[in-house]
Amino acid sequence: MKNLPLFLIAFAAAFAVNAQQKAKSPDFYGAGVQEVRIELPYPNWDFKLDSIKKKNPDARLAGTASVNGIRFDSAGIRFKGNSSYFRTRNETYKKLPFNIKLDYKLKNQKLPGGHTSVKLSNAFLDPSFIRDPLAYEIIRNYMPAPLCNFAKVNVNGKFFGLYINTESIDNNFLEKHFGTSTGYIVKCDPDNWKRVRSQTGCPKGENASLTYLNDNQGCYDAFYEVDDPGAWKPLLLLIKILNKTPEKIESVLDVDQTLWMLAINNATVNLDSYNGSLSHNYYLWFDTTGVAHPLIWDLNMAFGGWRRNFSFEEMKDAELIQYHPLTEINNTKRPLISKLLRNPLYQKIYLAHFRTVTNEWLKSGQWLTRAQAMMKEIDPWVKADSLKLYSYAEFQNSLDKTMKSGPDNVIGLRQLLDKRAQWLAQLPLLNKPQPVISDARHTATGNTIKLTAQLKGATKGWLMYRSHKMFAFTRTAMYDDGTNGDATAGDGIFTASVKADLVKHYYIAAENEEAAATLPERASFEFFEVK
């Protein structure tokens, strides 16, 4: 090494130190409170970031970020968020949300796990600090969703308090969950609310609701954030098929993942979402076949935190508690709900998913166990946070008391969820007899795979299958009539045969006149594998 030029020796030494730091660094989205230190070499850095946010929201200042002891030079730093930034700033609070791009200048800089972005939220309208991480934890049991935890943040040596730390939906996320980084990511969140409200020359839009306006791309560009112009073609096709020919929707949409999204949003009263009055805070990822997969995003106002109805009037506590599973089924401005849930099979599977979420989290009290554990972990850091948007007493009482923030009344989590669990438990819609599915198995014969399952209390059976985890599942009928590979008619064993190269993963769905079920129950996030 002594014969190498000095700059190469320095580079090698720095590389070795960075590698050692990464090896010792904890998982940034794992257990425990993380640490982020930001250094911005400007005496008026906050004024500069404010100016950037107002003039060019995607621009950044170059600075240094240290994440759990790993130093990232020339990182790109900006403020992020809409209400969480603008209202917080207008109310003169200093604790603003940050977005840090670690590979802003040095493209090979990344955290263990491949993460290149750090997104830090300020718990806006969430005195508990846990709505984001708790909601994401629930979602990750049923569909792909970001990891989320907490970080103590310092800026230029000053403790700025406890932040919520959420994994970015980016190529790294896609690779982890879908085994590919190809396709298109569309952020379904209006990028400029003033432009949305004043848009001219087009039919009035309804934010990122996937409502059909016309075939003009320009009438949609205020509602959907598209990095690659190639995304417009599949997005517009999805919108047109959803609204005009919904019977073809499985050709352009991962229907089951969509039903999970709708069920989770409704069950957790997450109305700052597609389901609610703003119709935003989700992504669509289009795979290489042009099929869209929805992904939930931004959950600080889940569990009744956003409570404005379609007239922007505040909903009463009872309306949140008794928010019906089929709310908005007749609302043409929410076609993912009104078009999908009018399909009898889709509605039955949606209600099966809804029942699973409420049984596993609300009825069981699992949400409270996790909420209390999270709040206990972060308690000392909330107490030490002098810039937080609420008092320490409001944090301590946030499960059981409503907090007032400007015009908003943020309901306590237990105030909402205990009563909601009781109300849902007696709802006839969720207590209809479901089919029972068992003994799912597959056998290979030549180029064909035969799949069978025992279905009790079912009138129809469906095989859902795919060849790779990047794709949505394809649906085909299963038979119990002695044909199509079925051995004996009427024995309750339903059968389907599919070409072997088309089946890597599969699950079974069954329906009767009143309800549906899937096996595994958490399908399509959980499934059987052909090895």
pLDDT digits (tens, 9 = 90+) for 300-312: 999 999 999 999 9
Band of pLDDT at residue 14, cut at 50, 70 and 90: very low
Distance, CA of 14 to CA of 109 (rounded, Å):
12
Q: Would you say the pTM of this structure is higher than 0.85?
A: yes
Do the beta carbons of residue 358 and residue 325 sit within 8 Å?
Answer: no
pLDDT (tens digit per residue) in 268-279:
999 999 999 999
Amino acid 174: pLDDT = 97
pLDDT tens by residue, 112-145: 999 999 999 999 999 999 999 999 999 999 999 9
Residue burial 29-44, b: 16+ Cβ < 10 Å; e: rest: beeeebebbbbbeeee
Q: How far is CA 271 from CA 72, 80, 281, 307, 467, in A?
A: 37, 21, 10, 7, 35
Mean pLDDT of the chain: 93
The H-assigned helical ranges of 322-360 are 335-338, 344-357
pLDDT at 360: 98
pLDDT band at 11 (very low <50, low <70, confident <90, very high): very low
Domains of the chain are 6-167 (no CATH), 177-361 (no CATH), 436-529 (2.60.40.10)
> Range with the lowest mean pLDDT among 43-57, 282-296, 326-340?
43-57
C-alpha span between 391 and 389 (Å, rounded): 7
In whole angstroms, what is the distance from residue 363 CA to residue 420 CA?
9
d(CA 197, CA 83): 16
Model confidence pLDDT, tens digit, residues 175-216: 999 999 999 999 998 765 556 655 677 888 889 999 999 999
In angstroms, the CA 97 to CA 386 distance is: 15
Mean pLDDT of 68-97: 94
SS3 529: strand
pLDDT over 70 (residue 8): no
Nearest Cα to Cα of residue 151 among 168, 170, 136, 165? 165
What is the pLDDT, as a whole number, of residue 102?
98
The pLDDT score that the predictor gives to residue 57 is: 82
DSSP letter assigned to residue 313: P
Instruction: Give the per-residue pLDDT at 25.
Output: 53
CB atoms within 10 A of CB 245: 12
Model confidence at 13, in pLDDT bands (50, 70, 90)?
very low
SS3 content of the chain, % helix, strand, coil (to 5): 30, 25, 45
pLDDT of the residue at 379: 98
Specify the pLDDT at position 191. 64
The whole-number average pLDDT for the span 357-372 is 98
pLDDT at 222: 87
Q: What confidence score (pLDDT) does residue 26 get? A: 65
* pLDDT tens-place string over residues 501-514: 999 999 999 999 99
Average pLDDT over residues 443-467: 96
Q: How far apart are CA 15 and CA 11, in angstroms?
A: 6
